Amino acid sequence: MKRLSLSKDEKKALIYLLPGFIVTALLIIYPLYYIITMSFSNNAINQSGFAGIANYTKLFKNPQFSKAIVNTAKFTGFSVAGAYVLGYILALAINRRSIKLKGLWRSLIFISWIIPGVVKATSWKWLFRTDGGMFNHLLQSVGLISSEVPWLTSPKFAMWAIIIVQIWATAPYVMLLMTAGLQQISKELYESADLDGAGFLHKLKYITLPLTKDITFICILMLLVWAINEFSLIWIMTTGGQNTSTLSLLVYNQFKMLNLNMASASAVMQLIVTMFFAAFYVKLTVKED
């Protein structure tokens, strides 16, 4: 059996890697181990009393858990798809040769990304108000609606209102990365396509989309993680009411009631859901390649 031996340079490198490993262990590995241990315990304070899967059984029987799963899937699916499509369209528009002051337009669009989350949620909560909200006023001004829509006070519209804000907040991130990717594509490819009589859609399908596939992978993966773990936006706008409670809010509510074991089990399930979506997307992308 071959023994693992390290060279002098590799041994020296371990000294420099050790601080990073210690920080990672303290901030990620140990908290993760602690939460998993609490989820299988009866007593979250000293982790005494092994409960087996009792906490998970109670969690699965809780009707709020199934609702949180459905709401999380809905919020994640529509917000990720919307942010990616809108961000890509903005990147294509700004990357056109006829557009002037491209840096200025990117900066203006990117403002919605850099605004703190609490400020975004509070501002949009005011805009979506039924009594005098500017969003309803604008829609009525252009004739799209005849009466005020209860965006945040009706289960029919509340989740869609939050999805709109999430798309508005994350699309600039996609726009920024996609703009960088589009600028790396050789102009000669488009010029050759023009000589062959290719239209915009053909160039988009056979040149632009394939050559930005790697950046698309990063964008969608990050959007998935952010959407699944989003908390402040939903909490500030609806506090989880009107059928908008997600896994993040379920964990918070259980922790607020000092039900730490159930909160830990919910947090573990949220981690599993995040890993499932990420693994499914990675597998799908690798299969296409």
Domain-embedded: residue 38:
no
Tell whether 250 is covered by a domain. yes
219 belongs to a structural domain: yes
pLDDT in tens, 31-49: 888 888 888 887 756 556 7
284: tokens are 């799908």
pLDDT at 233: 92
Q: pLDDT confidence of 1, banded at 50, 70, 90? A: very low
Number of domains comprising the chain: 1
Note whether 29 and 236 are within 8 A (CB). Answer: no
Is 24 inside a domain boundary? no
Residue 15, domain member (yes or no):
no
**Is 251 contained in some domain?**
yes
Domain CATH number, residue 169: 1.10.3720.10
- For the chain, the straight-line distance linking the first and the last C-alpha, in angstroms and rounded, comes to 37
Across the range 19-25, mean pLDDT stands at: 82
The rounded distance, in Å, linking the Cα atoms of 80 and 83 is: 5
Domain span including residue 178:
64-288
What one-character-per-residue DSSP string does 167-222 give? Answer: HHHHHHHHHHHHHHHHHTS-HHHHHHHHHTT--HHHHIIIIIHHHTHHHHHHHHHH
185-234 confidence digits (pLDDT tens)? 888 888 888 888 888 888 888 888 888 888 888 898 889 989 988 999 99
Asked if residue 87 belongs to a domain, the reply is: yes
Q: Is residue 41 part of a domain?
A: no
pTM above 0.85, yes or no: no
In the numeric block, the tokens 């074991």 are attached to 261
